[in-house]
Amino acid sequence: MTTNTTARRARRAGARQAASGYMFVAPFMMVFVAMLVLPLLYAAYLSLFKEQLVGGTTFAGLDNYRRALTDDQLVEGVVRVATFFVLQVPVMLGLALFFALALDSGVLRLSRLFRLGFFVPYAVPSVVATLMWGYLYGPDFGPFAQLADKLGFGAPKFLGDGLMLGSLANVVTWEFTGYNMIILYAALRAIPAELYEAAAVDGAGAWRTAWSVKIPAIRSALMLTLIFSVIGSFQLFNEPNLLQRLAPNVIDSSYTPNLYAYSLAFTSQELNYAAAVSFLLGLVIVVVSYAFLLVGNRRRTS
Amino acid sequence: MTTTASAPAVRRPATTVGSTRPGVRRRRSNVLTLGMLAFLVYFLLPLFWLLVASTKTTSDLFNSFGLWLSGDFSLFSNIRDTLSYDGGVYGRWLLNTAVYAVASAGGAALLAALGGYGFAKYRFRGNGALFNTVLGAVMVPTTALAIPTYLLFSKVGMVNTPWAIILPSLVSPFGLYLMRVYAEGAVPDSLIEAARIDGAGEFRIFWQVVLRLLAPGLVTVLLFTLVATWNNYFLPLIMLNDPSLYPVTVGLANWSSQAQAGGGSTGALLSLVVTGSLLSVIPLIAAFLMLQRYWQSGLATGGVKQ
């Protein structure tokens, strides 16, 4: 057998392998293109046009984007979800990390019960979660209001202007802490035992081990939860959309950017402008996510 | 489906969940356990409230303390009312949700398994670039997609049909990511090679050998896409306007608006929202509890590597 034929055979095997590879990924990629790439391109196209009462739809270049950047309603919405992110995500991920470490430490009783009990809210639809909390917050038959009433002081206005963002943050924290905990816990369980042995030899205690062995070892899982949280916060829609029905005076149609895009598209029929708004929102999410990835990776290499 | 429950033969650090790490025996801490119990109360309180509230009539909801039983025990009459209100539309919503969720999750898991295996085990031009493009797409906001998808679907007459919910839900970038990582770890190259030498075609290898090894990862993806579709609100909200096509989430949101608009005078509607909410969360919670062995080991793989 000459090297020539071996090489040819290898090349033929490689080509066959490549063909099979394409076959395997083709179904996913086809649906991906049809349901994701195509609508995105269409939205990009739409965002460059303008619909007017007189003259119909005309090419507008970047006018929609220029308008969006100076649109107070949009800017306020983005600032609001950014505030939400700063308020809510550290609490949620901090709790999730603490719970995961506690479950992993082995010093906890009933750990199975905690693991499942904390995770259960994730299986509850956000619609139901928001309705429940909405009723719990409520002044009519919410137990907090009832208790406050009995004790003789006024119920806190959970659905009022001042507390609304906090109330929303609580609903989201309730829904997703357990989910993040499970991701982090799964990562902790997979840390190789050798790492612990080294720490044990050094005489490191539980806290010390958690801080200098476990947390660095699950950095990529932490990054994953952080990126998911960026996406989730900036896309906030379901919870405010439902609480809007309970407190229409506090949550207006541009409370979050997604809510704004939705009402632009389906209430005021400004489809072209809505496309530009949601594109800009996507850009914000990409930029913030990449910023976190960059900071995270730089820490790792230094 | 050939994903029977008989195949956890995966070379994974066995996530025998709940057990302590061998060799590390520590004293149990009561303080920590108590602290965690307080949080458990927080996480279960709303569900407890929901359960209690489902046993009350609307007037008892207003007139009794929310966190304890009171008045007549009307859980069963509430369930009966929920299921029969408006010609039994609630049952229809539950059925719709189940159909949308099962079709979407099944399809999404299968596409992710095929694709994840392809990306993990085959070398072809553009492998990395395609995969990264899919991952990057996670960041696209739902509205940026939903609005143009709605317009495209309305051009081909698919708005207000089940397809408008199922087709967009078939793409799960996170599922693809998880299946790729899982396939890398769970499917030994030597096994594929051996099957090839036996003369099996690539797809036969996938169906008869690989799919079984991927089972825990597949169940994970299945469950998480099931949750995503079961809980989906935004997409059906814009795609559907025929109440007989609504999933339970949109239906309940509508009922709650009506109850809100009518104030206390809408009578039964409020207790229907509450009871309907309770009924809608039971199937998913049951699925998670029954399948926990699978999704916990499946996630163990996805969360770690990158």
pLDDT in tens, B103-155: 999 999 999 999 999 999 999 988 999 999 998 887 777 767 888 899 899 99
Taking contacts as CB-CB distances below 8 angstroms, the residues of chain A near B33 are 108-110
A272-299 average pLDDT score: 87
Domain of B183: which CATH number? 1.10.3720.10
**Count of domains in chain B?**
1
Q: Please say if the pLDDT value at position B9 is more than 50.
A: no
Residue B55 falls inside a structural domain: no
CATH architecture of A64-301: Orthogonal Bundle (1.10)
pLDDT at B35: 93
Is A187 in the B-facing interface, judged by CB distances under 8 Å? yes
HEC string of B87-124 equals: HHHHHHHHHHHHHHHHHHHHHHHHHHHHHHHHHHHCCC
Say if the Cβ atoms of B114 and A18 lie within 8 Å.
no
Nearest to A40 among B144, B233, B306 (CB): B144
Q: Which long-range contacts (CB under 8 A, 24 or more apart) does A253-258 make?
A: A254/A73, A254/A74, A254/A76, A254/A77, A255/A77, A255/A80, A256/A77, A256/A80, A256/A81, A257/A74, A257/A77, A257/A78, A257/A81, A257/A281, A258/B141, A258/B142, A258/B143
pLDDT at B26: 61
Q: Which domain holds residue B121?
A: 74-304
Residue B63 falls inside a structural domain: no
A105-114, A220-229, B104-113, B296-305: least confidently modelled range: B296-305
Domain extents in chain A: 3-36, 64-301
pLDDT at A71: 95
Taking contacts as CB-CB distances below 8 angstroms, the residues of chain A near B55 are none
Read off the DSSP letter of residue B25. Answer: -
pLDDT at A300: 60
Taking contacts as CB-CB distances below 8 angstroms, the residues of chain B near A108 are 28-29, 32-33, 36
Tell me the residues of chain A between 72 and 91 that have a Cβ less than 8 Å away from chain B.
Answer: none
More confident of the two residues B72 and A170: A170
- Calculate the average pLDDT of chain B: 83
Is A94 in the B-facing interface, judged by CB distances under 8 Å? no
A14-18, A96-100, A290-294, B223-227: least confidently modelled range: A14-18
Residue B50 falls inside a structural domain: no
Percent of chain A with pLDDT over 70: 97
Confidence of residue B20 (pLDDT cuts 50, 70, 90): very low
C-alpha span between B26 and A108 (Å, rounded):
9
Residue B46 falls inside a structural domain: no
pLDDT at B174: 85
Residue B33 falls inside a structural domain: no
Residue B37 falls inside a structural domain: no
Q: Please say if the pLDDT value at position A284 is more than 50.
A: yes
Is A292 in the B-facing interface, judged by CB distances under 8 Å? no
pLDDT at B300: 64
Is A135 in the B-facing interface, judged by CB distances under 8 Å? yes
CA distance A119 to chain B (A): 8
CA angle A292, A126, A274 (to 5 degrees): 65
Residue B54 falls inside a structural domain: no
Confidence of residue B231 (pLDDT cuts 50, 70, 90): confident
Is A256 in the B-facing interface, judged by CB distances under 8 Å? no
Structure tokens at A84: 């939400």
Say if the Cβ atoms of A102 and B32 lie within 8 Å.
yes
Confidence of residue B11 (pLDDT cuts 50, 70, 90): very low
C-alpha span between B272 and B274 (Å, rounded):
5
C-alpha span between A118 and A175 (Å, rounded):
9
Say if the Cβ atoms of A35 and B171 lie within 8 Å.
yes
pLDDT at A24: 95
Confidence of residue B263 (pLDDT cuts 50, 70, 90): low
pLDDT at A260: 95
Q: Which amino acid is at B27?
A: R
SS3 B200: coil
Say if the Cβ atoms of B296 and A109 lie within 8 Å.
no
Residue B211 falls inside a structural domain: yes
Say if the Cβ atoms of B303 and A186 lie within 8 Å.
yes
A203-231 average pLDDT score: 86
- Global pTM reads 0.87
Nearest to B140 among A36, A105, A177 (CB): A36
